[in-house]
Structure 1
Amino acid sequence: MNFDIAQMALSAGRVLLVGLLFGAGLPALFAIGMRLQSAGTGELDGEAPGTRRPLLTAAGWILFALVIAAVLTGVLFITRLSIYHYFGISLFGAGK
């Protein structure tokens, strides 16, 4: 058997990178979105009403949409062959 250690290391590095991206990156984006939502609602100091910041609220919603899109894309990528088999819909080049 011929093992290419460099190719195996490259493949392992790619898996590690994608794992870090989805394992830590998406939860981090979600947390940043939560923080932006919190900051966008305005704060009350007990004396006067808080000031709303619609730009921060919108940025939070954009991050939430990005996380949801990434999760849906991942689920569709994993199930692409089943979707092609049962429904005939080709996603990500499945069934070609």
Structure 2
Amino acid sequence: MSKWALMLVAVILPSNILLYHSSVQLYLDIHIGKEVVFGSLLDLVVVLPALMYAAFRLSKKQLAGFVVFGLVLARSILPEAHFAQYTILLYAGLAVEVIVVM
């Protein structure tokens, strides 16, 4: 199972990164809407930590750390115009992480 999970992580991360490059958007004629941004957030905040949990059997604290890492990664991958409406998720995730760690 861990090999499959890591292979899926190796597909999810580059695909989300490439999705927001303007040259890829022009070449594939992709329009980035709210649904695409929400899908990327879902990939990075839910699917990625779940795959890492399946690959490495993480503790709850480590899993919460991967959720926050997914939020920070989404913040760095997504353009500001697309991430602006989801900024509250970043702060809420950080607050939950602080509560879980303490």
TM-score > 0.5 by shorter chain: no
Larger Rg: 1
Bucket of the pairwise TM-score, normalised by the shorter protein? 0.3 to 0.5
Return the TM-score normalized by structure 1.
0.33
Return the TM-score normalized by structure 2.
0.32
